[in-house]
Amino acid sequence: MITAPLVHLDDMPRVPGGPRVVVAPAADADAFLTAFLSSAQLRQDVVGVLVDPTTGQPTHQSAAAPFPDAEFAPYSAPSYIWNPGGTNFNRQNFGIPIYLLTAALANETSWRAAYNAKHKLKGGRHVARMQLPMQAQGNSSRCITEDACLPVGGYGVWTALPAIPDIYYAANGSARPITLLLAQVDSASLFHDLTRAASTSLSGLISAMVALSLLVRANATATYERQLAFAALPGEAFGYMGSKRLLYEMALNSTFVRGLSLDLIDQVLEVGQVGGAWNTAVNQSNFYLHTQPPGGRFGDAAKLLSAAQSAATTESATVNAEPASPTNPGIPPSSLMNFLRVKPSVAGMVLTDFDTAFKTPYFQSEYDEGFNVTVLALADAALLLARTLHSLAAGPATPALELNRTAARFLVADLVVCLILDEPGMRCPTAAALMSPDIEIFYDGTSSAAVQGYPGIIRWVDYDPRASRMSYGVRNNVWRWRTDDTAAGWERAYSWPTDPMWTESNWPSLTPTLVVFQQESDATALATLLVGVLFTAFTGFISWVGVKAFEKHLKSQ
Amino acid sequence: MPIDFFGLIFLGLGPGIAFFIVVIARKSFLVLLSLFSAFLWLIVLLFTSAIFRGFLPVAEQTGSYAGVLAASVVIQECVRYGVWRAHRKTVETLETMARASGHRFTLLDRLYMALAWGYGHGATHCVFFFLSLLPLTASKGTYYIDACPQMSIFMVAALYSLAFGTILACLMVIAFDGYMSRSPALVLGVAAVHMGASMLTLLNFQANGCIAAMPALLGLGLLLVAYTVGLCWRKGGR
């Protein structure tokens, strides 16, 4: 339990030193936290930070590094900045509680901090009491063993278009080469539960899903020469969990990836951040195609590039696709990096809205709510993808692709309503027709079916994801997989960077809490006690002396 | 915080309890009389608050509060006179009964009884206006109003309790002396001092007024103690 006086960030120089809880406006929070990490004085004085989001949103905020997960890249350029404004908070140990305030608490703390500054912490000062005892101790290995934490993770989904006819498809000789489409589904941020993933991953996911829907509606998939497959990958913000697991499952030839064999995959197309492609000034969506430079040890992506560029030309004047700048060190941070690590001969391409650096100011942030994502950009990305995939997979008998722009926009709008908007979130008609949503109920009774950007934790694991949720075999299963020699061998074979184990601690119920109130200073309380005891003793003594003197006085009369 | 709680108890109630133990508890009759007095004055305060319940909410202004205080003091002064009348009647009856066996109340006895009546009066004010707030200090927080950033409202209440405990106890002794010696100056003086002390607490409404008001009340209490001790010293021997 930590209690300390509230001090507003702007009042810091004016208030006497000592432990304090800093109330920082959201727009200045990143700068302050960065200063905190590097200043010994701040580390000593500041025992907690309360971030106030009601005073305004920062113009850019990203908890990822300037080059997120640089060690996974197929090239070495660790100082290249893909994510300007990246603070790398996701990988820092702050050691103090950091809260994001609700509107009511933001109101309370601001006037209390102002009072403290006015009276310079003398007398009754307003304090914040923070109670957040985590059950996990030490590192992830220890807390998993002690059942005090649960691993971060989620479930990915893959599908094939057209459906794979036969589970032994990959084994018998008639298998077609596979073009794999990838999209990420989630993100990370400093405040995990508040993570939004609109531009970071949902933009790509929606474009991919709409592209596939358009291809299904065009009804030409039966004539394709190549097999199309799509994988939606979770946990990519946490050391590329999803793609790494998919590759491992394919190496194991497990039941979950029957039909999707790495031997057959020779083209991988990833759709990354595409939400910001629409340029209102020129009425055009600008897309960039990232590939590893030709002539290296990786597969030649020329076919993918030409397919995409001709698709853009065919599509309309509003869709523009060009290869990314050759001054880039290579492909941007993406799941494709992992495919190239395991099978360098794959021809890979990443479709994005940015060229040399991320366009979105909120990569891996709780502010990534989609203000810079437009339906036009996503629709154009979907059309571009559909046409590209169609041209890559087309056989001699395949008819030309007819795409309806309006239909694409409607499909995109449908999914945006479900996946990006807070309301109705997953209670939207499209989702409601397929599933019942996870509803989150907040402390004040309101509920939300909005999609969370954070992958969340895995409470139960089993080899069969359809197994009953009642078997809480997390600890045993995690250890089984960690000590699995096959996995270790596979990791070594492809020199994967060290695999961290991401976990979330368990918490006692009703924690963490934050209470703000006015507290008497210790000095005053102690002084009151001393003076009180003194007065009491003095009164008793004087009264006794007085009574004795009075009696003597009476006797003498 | 708990240390707040104990500090304030010692400050506000400690001297009163010490005085009770040393002076009043020596005679069991005085203890009973103090308790009875406290009970009676509690009824009076409850009665006063019942009247003003019809005027709720009272505007938080000096003027409105002055009206409430003035009415309350007037009611208490009237009851004080009634107490004197009832007390005198009872004492006369008891004296008649005691004269048969040759005893009578000395002036010292009468002063002691007046003190017991006054102690009950003061104690009730302490309980009503201070002890009722005290449980709030047992938990973590405190409360300061904007007009008085120097001391919390609980501190003000403790000082009030200390001051008015002494003031009211002394005033009752002086009043009884005034009634006994039929001195209108003393009787009216007592009423005036009571009214003045109550109005002095309104100074707490002013910014930083509590720094002037509370020491002034404590000083008034000390002055009255000096006067009362002098009074008893002179008259106690007879």
Average pLDDT of chain A to the nearest whole number: 89
Asked if residues A266 and A178 have their Cβ atoms less than 8 Å apart, the reply is yes
Q: Is the pLDDT of residue B60 over 90?
A: no
From chain A, pick out residues whose CB is under 8 angstroms from the CB of B233: 550, 553
The per-residue pLDDT for A467 is 57
For the residues B51-58, what does the mean pLDDT come to? 87
What are the tens digits of pLDDT across the range A39-88? 999 999 999 999 999 998 999 999 999 999 999 999 999 999 999 989 99
At residue A442, the pLDDT reads: 81
**Dist. CA A536–CA B14, nearest whole Å:** 5
Chain B contact probe: residue of A536, A542, A557 with most B CBs at under 10 A: A536
Burial of B21 (0-12, 13-18, 19+ CB in 10 A): middle
Q: What are A318-336's pLDDT values in tens digits? A: 899 999 999 999 999 999 9
Q: Closest Cα partner for A275 from A188, A371, A384, A419?
A: A371
pLDDT at A472 over 60: no
**Chain B within 8 Å of A466 (Cβ-Cβ)?**
no
Which residues does A429 contact at the CB level (< 8 Å), separation at least 6?
none
Confirm if B238 and B181 have CB atoms less than 8 A apart. no
Q: How confident is the model at residue B221 (pLDDT cuts 50, 70, 90)?
A: very high
Compute the average pLDDT of residues A472-480.
60
Sign of CA dihedral B202, B203, B208, B213: negative
CA distance A539 to chain B (A): 5
For residue A360, what pLDDT is reported?
93
Q: Does A550 touch chain B (CB under 8 A)?
A: yes
Read off the pLDDT of each residue in A111-136 and give the average, rounded to a whole number: 91
CA distance A494 to chain B (A): 58
pLDDT at A112: 94
H or E element, residue A347: strand A347-352
Residue A406 has pLDDT above 60, yes or no: yes
| Helix boundaries (H) for B13-103 | 14-19, 28-52, 62-99
Of A119, A124, A528, the CB nearest to B7: A528
Reduced to 3 states, what is the DSSP secondary structure of residue B176?
helix
What is the rounded average pLDDT of the residues B65-90?
94
Which residues partner with A149 through β-bridges? Answer: A505
Helix (H, G, I), strand (E, B) or coil at B83: helix
Domain assignments of chain A as residue spans, ordered by start: 2-131, 155-464
Phi first, then psi: give them for residue B223, nearest 5 degrees: -60, -45
- Nearest-by-CA chain A residue for B232: A550
**Contact criterion met (CB < 8 Å) for A528 and B150:** no
Tens-place pLDDT, residues B86-106: 999 999 888 888 888 877 778
* CA distances, A17 to each of A44, A112, A428, B31 (Å): 10, 18, 52, 53
pTM of the predicted structure, to 2 decimals: 0.85
DSSP letters, A181-249, are: EEEE-----SSGGG-B-IIIIIHHHHHHHHHHHHHHHHT-GGG-SSEEEEEEE--TTTTSHHHHHHHHH
At A522, the pLDDT band (50, 70, 90 cuts) reads: confident
Q: What is the pLDDT of residue A459?
A: 77
* Cα separation, A522 vs B3, whole angstroms: 9
Percent of chain A with pLDDT over 70: 94
**Where residue A414 falls among pLDDT bands split at 50, 70, 90?**
very high
Alpha carbon of A425: minimum distance to chain B alpha carbons (Å):
41
Q: What percent of chain B has pLDDT over 90?
A: 69
Question: What's the pLDDT at A488?
Answer: 80
pLDDT at A172: 62
Mean pLDDT, rounded, for B211-226: 94
- A539: contact with B, CB 8 A cutoff: yes
Per-residue model confidence (pLDDT) at position A315: 81
CA gap A230, A179 in Å, rounded = 8
CB B12 to CB A532 under 8 A? yes
Q: Using omega within 30 degrees of 0 as the cis cutoff, is the peptide bond preceding A74 cis? A: no
φ/ψ of residue B47, rounded to 5: -60, -45
At residue A446, does pLDDT exceed 90?
no
Confidence of residue A555 (pLDDT cuts 50, 70, 90): confident
Whether A528 and B155 lie within 8 Å, measured CB to CB: yes
Determine whether the interchain pair A532/B11 forms a contact, defined as Cβ–Cβ distance below 8 Å. Answer: yes
Q: Of B165, B158, B125, B124, which is closest to residue B8 (Cα–Cα)?
A: B158
pLDDT at residue A173 in the model: 62
CB spacing of B233 vs A540 below 8 angstroms? no
Measure B144 CA to nearest chain A CA, in Å. 7
Helix (H, G, I), strand (E, B) or coil at A261: coil
The pLDDT > 90 percentage for chain A reads 60
Average pLDDT, stretch A473-489? 66
Give tens-digit pLDDT for B106-146: 878 888 999 999 999 999 999 999 999 899 888 888 999 98
Is A533 at the interface with chain B, CB within 8 A? yes
Whether CATH 3.40.630.10 fits A155-464: yes
Q: What's the whole-number mean pLDDT along residues A13-17?
A: 86
* Every domain of chain B and the residues it spans: 2-51+81-237
Average pLDDT over residues A235-258: 90
pLDDT band at A307 (very low <50, low <70, confident <90, very high): very high
pLDDT tens per residue, range A144-190: 888 889 889 888 899 998 888 766 665 666 678 999 999 999 999 99
Please say whether the dihedral angle defined by the alpha carbons of residues A162, A167, A170 and A173, taken in this order, is positive or negative: negative
Size of interface A-B (CB pairs under 8 A): 103
Task: Locate A208 and state its tokens.
Answer: 């991919």
In Å, how far is B128's CA from the nearest CA of chain A? Answer: 20
Query: Does B14 contact A536 at a Cβ distance shorter than 8 Å?
Result: yes
Q: Residue A203's pLDDT is what?
A: 95
Give the bridge partners for A268, in sequence order: A180, A348
Residue A456's pLDDT is 86
pLDDT at res. A94? 93
- Hey, are the CB atoms on B4 and A538 less than 8 Å from each other? no
Set of chain B residues whose Cβ sits within 8 Å of the Cβ of A530: 7
Q: How far is B6 from chain A (nearest CA, A)?
A: 7
Residue A461 confidence (pLDDT) above 80: no
Q: pLDDT confidence of B21, banded at 50, 70, 90?
A: very high
pLDDT for residue A14 is more than 90: no
DSSP state of A497: P
Q: Over the stretch A140-151, which tens digit does the pLDDT of each residue have?
A: 888 888 888 988
pLDDT for residue A465 is more than 60: no
Q: What is the pLDDT of residues A381-395, one digit of tens each?
A: 999 999 999 999 988
How much is the pLDDT for A483?
61
